[in-house]
Amino acid sequence: MRHEITDAGSRDGIITVQGMEQVALVFLSMPAIREAQAPEVRERIVKVAEVAKGRVAVSMADVQEMTSAGINALVAAHRRCVELGAHLALFALSKDLSRLIRITKLDRRIVVADDVRQAVRSFEARPRTIFGITLGWARPRHDAA
């Protein structure tokens, strides 16, 4: 899958999109995601998700601060990615943002990766279905012989 590299100037930064192994990589070049930036971030990620079939990884390397509006934008984008059959992954978070994501328990819904490769790999793992879990539970762990 090829993704066109686009730049969208926002009020306080730039959003760049690239592709890697059929995953859209979104780079947020902004110091913060607050009420002013959140709607644009959400809209851009959702647009990218629709092209990439929900396979989106977002670099948070330049983002140092995020308000509840930013968290809500990421949740909305993740929800759309799930509707499209994949998920949203975040990578390169600062220690403060990582702590915020853990405190808000967002890391239970959104994949949080250390780097771009780990984020891209998260799309390779197949989610276990309830059917697969049931069959796995019923299978013996070792031979009875």
Q: Are 34 and 67 in contact (CB under 8 A)?
A: yes
Q: Is 91 inside a domain boundary?
A: yes
Domain that holds residue 126: 6-138
Q: Which residues contact 15 (CB under 8 A, 6 or more apart)?
A: 6, 7, 8, 26, 27, 28, 29, 30, 40, 41, 44
User: Looking at residue 126, what is its pLDDT?
Assistant: 55
Q: Is 55 inside a domain boundary?
A: yes
Q: Is 45 inside a domain boundary?
A: yes
Which is more confidently placed, 51 or 136? 51
Average pLDDT of the chain to the nearest whole number: 84
- What CATH number is given to the structural domain containing 93? 3.30.750.24
Q: What pLDDT digit, counting tens, does each position of 37-81 carry? A: 999 999 999 999 999 999 999 999 999 999 999 999 999 999 999
Q: What pLDDT digit, counting tens, does each position of 100-115 carry? A: 999 999 999 999 999 9
Question: Buried (b) or exposed (e) across 96-133, using 16+ Cβ within 10 A?
Answer: ebeebbeeeebeeebbbbeebeebbbbbeeeeeeeeee
Q: Is 126 inside a domain boundary?
A: yes
The radius of gyration of the chain's CA atoms, rounded to the nearest angstrom, is 17
Q: Is 70 inside a domain boundary?
A: yes
Structure confidence at residue 125 as a pLDDT band (50, 70, 90):
low
Q: Is 1 inside a domain boundary?
A: no
Question: Buried (b) or exposed (e) across 37-56, using 16+ Cβ within 10 A?
Answer: bbebbbebbbbbbebbebbb
Which is more confidently placed, 145 or 10? 10
User: Looking at residue 14, what is its pLDDT?
Assistant: 84
Report which of 23, 16, 17 is spatially closest to residue 52, judged by C-alpha positions.
23
Q: Is 68 inside a domain boundary?
A: yes
Rounded distance between C-alpha atoms, residue 14 and residue 85, angstroms: 27
Q: Is 58 inside a domain boundary?
A: yes
User: Looking at residue 134, what is its pLDDT?
Assistant: 39
What's the structural domain count of the chain?
1
Rounded distance between C-alpha atoms, residue 78 and residue 56, angstroms: 9
User: Looking at residue 140, what is its pLDDT?
Assistant: 41
